[in-house]
Amino acid sequence: MTALGTAASGMEAQQLNVEVISNNIANMSTTGFKRQRVAFQDLLYQNLKRVGSSSSDAGTIVPSGIQIGVGVKPGSVYRIDEQGNLQLTENKYDLAIQGSGYFRVQMPDGSEAYTRDGAFQVSATGELVTLDGYTVQPGITIPQDAIDVTINPTGEVQVKLAGQVSPQTVGQLDLAIFFNDSGLESIGDNLYLETPASGTATTGVPGAPGYGTVVQGYLETSNVNAVQEITTLIAAQRAYEMNSKVITTADEMMAEVSRLR
């Protein structure tokens, strides 16, 4: 009875669905987090009577045939890159991206990663870094005697020094964009890596065509919708229960056959 295997594949699929939903809910407060969804695909079919096959010598053909599905499989788990809300923090080193783009981060091994988490700080040498101490590219150093720091929407970093009237420009932030944001590889710590699926990063100045702008003193919140996630969770739970009911029913049917005399 193939119903047992079919229902079992449905239970496995819904288990994965619940795991993805639980990760979304767990990251409701994660800065710049993008919620994920599971895409499912049906498995191969058993052709008991192939559609379109000949049914007589007169040339008649089978109009629909008999195809029995054998279950479901996960096709992919993809991110939904919807803009999150901007939350005011009034911290001068907190930056949010309004629109498309990622901040560039230099990893300890020299490679480059990308993030939407703009909760930056300064190192002991005044360099702009992430919460893990990774350098924010292209490498901007804030002078020790700076009394104020301003980062405008186009990513220009200006500082006001004691005894000077006009602000001094100390660097220019840029953003990276990709043809396929969903193709980026998540490595944790709010960081992504470029992959063949994402395409090569294209860098540009914030505010240029196709690039978002930088908002100082704000952070982008997670785009997880609590009500939507709970609704999806309930639907996944019901689907899991229905698949388990199919297994119970199939087992009862097989037990009934075994009692035949």
Q: Are residues 106 and 133 in the same domain?
A: yes
> Do 205 and 168 share a structural domain?
yes
What percent of the chain is predicted at pLDDT more than 70?
100
Domain co-membership, 114 together with 132:
yes
196 shares a domain with 154:
yes
| Interacting residues of 182 by C-beta distance below 8 A, sequence separation 6+ | 78, 79, 81, 197, 198
Does any domain span residue 143? Answer: yes
The answer to whether residue 251 sits within a structural domain is yes
Whether residue 247 is found in the same domain as residue 235? yes
Maximum Cα–Cα distance for the chain, whole Å?
Answer: 103
Residues 135, 251 within the same domain: no
Mind giving me the DSSP string for 165-232? SS-EEEEE--EEE-S-GGGSEEEETTEEE--TTT---EEE-TTSTT--EEEETEEEPP---HHHHHHH
Residues 109 and 179 in one domain: yes
Domain containing residue 152? 86-220
CATH number, domain with residue 233: 1.10.287
pLDDT at 63: 82
Do 195 and 248 fall into the same domain? Answer: no
189 and 95 within one domain: yes
Give the tens place of pLDDT for each residue, 105-122: 999 999 999 999 999 999
**pLDDT surpasses 70 at 36:** yes
pTM listed for this prediction: 0.86
Same domain for 27 and 131: no
The helix/strand/coil state of 242 is helix
Read off the pLDDT of each residue in 203-231 and give the average, rounded to a whole number. Answer: 95
**Tokens read off for 117:** 């988490």
Q: How far apart are CA 85 and CA 52, in angstroms?
A: 53
pLDDT band at 96 (very low <50, low <70, confident <90, very high): very high
Is pLDDT of 59 > 80? no
